[in-house]
Structure 1
Amino acid sequence: MISTADVIASLRARDIENIGHGPLYRRLQTALKAVIDDGILKIDDALPSERDLANELGISRVTVRNAMRALVEEGVLVQRHGAGTFVAPRVEQALSRLTSFTEDMITRGMNPGAIWIEKTLGHASPEEAMALNLSPGTEVTRLRRLRTANDKPMALEYAVVPRAFLPSPDDVEKSLYDALAKYGKKPERALQRLRAELFDGETAKILGVPDGSAALYIERRSFLADGTPVEFTRSYYRGDSYDFIAEMQVDAR
């Protein structure tokens, strides 16, 4: 575990007063985040106390408190009553395996959750019909929910499934894939497209992050063994809490 002296030295090396623009607490916030992003402070490492940071850096405790509060709101730090402030856990997902959000969280020892925003039946839009290879106007089941891990908002997810494969949205309790498995329609492969975006006002508010925060947009089409499209999902993941990992091999040629 890193010492207080090492954290202070790392912050001093970043010359807080000359980082970017804006109030001093924002500059300290940027410096603390850099220390975490660089791996100097790791997951579950405790930060020095407000008093120690203020005294050693020659700034007010209010400045330190505001910087820490901002990082807690971003999900970078977590405060534990009576214990202090710690680097919050991040979720890593391998891109080589097709798993559900629920499976990912359970594998990591976290408690998956969902807050339902929409569970409806409707007719496929032109985009949905194209993604799922459906005729225009085909009935689909639509699911929109906020995904959480240990009660922390992680992602906003929009899923569309042909009604022929999922007759009622109420069939989905926690895991969409579990519900599809009951009908023998659990996907066996998928194609995903990822890109970096910025959260807009509505999505940022739902996920509890500042407007304009970094987001990972993921579009996924999942297929049955015979190649039939079964799921079209668009998700917005918090960029400060989710990492995607791909394993690659050197071409033997």
Structure 2
Amino acid sequence: MDNLYQFLKDRLAENDPSPLYQRLVTAIKEAIQQEVLSSETFLPSERNLAQNLGVSRKTVRHALETLREENVIGSHQGVGSYISRDISYTINNEAGFSEIVTRTGATPSTHWLSKQAIEAPEAIADELGVAAGTPILQFKRLRSIDGHPVSLEDSYINCPQIEDPEAVGDSLYSFFKEQGIVKGKHHSAISACMPDEELRQLLNCSEMTPLLLVRQKVDYPDSKQILEYSINYCLSDAYEFTFEH
């Protein structure tokens, strides 16, 4: 823990007008990014952090509460706080994977398996509400957090405005914003499934690892036309989905 304390002290000593608790939040996120702290590692107790960093327990408590609200850390009663590897998605959230992961202090990455223009297969065409054979785009990608695969996402886009699928970078939703493509409501269905051979290889999991299967449609604003239909396979120990009513 000496390395951690020194790392946090150095960050807190930097010239920054932000409130002290917020600087501690940022310092802990940087410690995760630079692997001074890793997933599932337990943090020192509130008292030990305060004593070793020379700050009040109130400051530490405020920082930990903020990190907990942002899902950067979790806690077990009687054990303490630990670095979470969970990604908390709020269904209908405007933010995409990359933005959400970055907020937690972790590093998102995308490995593209497919970026291509295709003719819509009948099953996908039905979901998008277009005729089979309609030109659409397919984006299939493996998502990772700090180098560890956590989900496989297969998206089908009905948007003639996108002429070149290769122009899309790591974040599809960031590309939408850059191109002025406005998303409407999200319609999601979540179920459980077990991984087939392809999923086991891509997600580096066993045949007994349960996955969350998330099927999602995103429509255009003020229209029943579907912009995106996606099929997502997520490691169940890496995701937490919440619903807002």
TM range (shorter): 0.5 to 0.7
Structure 1 runs (4+) deviating above 6 angstroms are none
Q: Give 1:96 deviation, angstroms.
A: 4.5
Report the AA paired with residue 217 of structure 2: R
Structure 2 match to 1:104: 100
Contact in 1 for aligned 2:92/2:187 (Cα 8 Å): no
Structure 1 match to 2:214: 218
Where 1:129 maps in the other structure, the secondary structure is helix
Structure 1 match to 2:134: 138
Picking from 143, 148, 171, the partner of 1:152 is: 148
Picking from 238, 241, 245, the partner of 1:241 is: 238
Report the AA paired with residue 147 of structure 2: D
Structure 2: state its 5+ residue gaps: 1-38, 44-81
d(CA) in 1 for partners of 2:170, 2:238: 21
Structure 2 match to 1:190: 186
Please give the per-residue CA displacement for 1:211-239, whole angstroms capped at 9, x wherever unaligned.
23110000110012122211111000001
Structure 2 match to 1:121: 117
Where 1:216 maps in the other structure, the secondary structure is strand
Flag the structure with larger Rg.
1
Contact in 2 for aligned 1:124/1:137 (Cα 8 Å): yes
Picking from 166, 170, 174, the partner of 1:170 is: 166
Q: Give 1:150 deviation, angstroms.
A: 1.3
Q: Give 1:186 deviation, angstroms.
A: 3.1
Q: Give 1:163 deviation, angstroms.
A: 4.6
Contact in 1 for aligned 2:182/2:221 (Cα 8 Å): no
d(CA) in 1 for partners of 2:205, 2:220: 36
Please give the per-residue CA displacement for 1:100-150, whole angstroms capped at 9, x wherever unaligned.
111211122221110111111110011221111212211111111100111
Where 1:220 maps in the other structure, the secondary structure is strand
d(CA) in 2 for partners of 1:183, 1:217: 29
Structure 1 match to 2:226: 229
Task: Tell me the TM-score normalized by structure 2.
Answer: 0.63
Structure 2 match to 1:180: 176
Q: Give 1:166 deviation, angstroms.
A: 2.0
Using a 3 Å threshold, how does the CA distance of structure 1 residues 216 and 178 change in structure 2: closer, same or farther?
A: same
Structure 1 position 45 matched with structure 2 position 47? no
d(CA) in 1 for partners of 2:174, 2:93: 16
d(CA) in 1 for partners of 2:161, 2:192: 31
Q: Give 1:88 deviation, angstroms.
A: 5.5
Structure 2 match to 1:11: none
d(CA) in 2 for partners of 1:136, 1:242: 33
d(CA) in 1 for partners of 2:83, 2:172: 31
Using a 3 Å threshold, how does the CA distance of structure 1 residues 139 and 94 change in structure 2: closer, same or farther?
A: same
Report the AA paired with residue 240 of structure 1: D
Report the AA paired with residue 235 of structure 2: R
Contact in 2 for aligned 1:145/1:156 (Cα 8 Å): yes
Structure 1 match to 2:48: none
Q: How many residues align?
A: 168
- The alignment-based identity, stated in percent, is 21
Using a 3 Å threshold, how does the CA distance of structure 1 residues 87 and 104 change in structure 2: closer, same or farther?
A: closer
d(CA) in 2 for partners of 1:88, 1:205: 24
Task: Tell me the TM-score normalized by structure 1.
Answer: 0.61
Structure 1 match to 2:88: 92
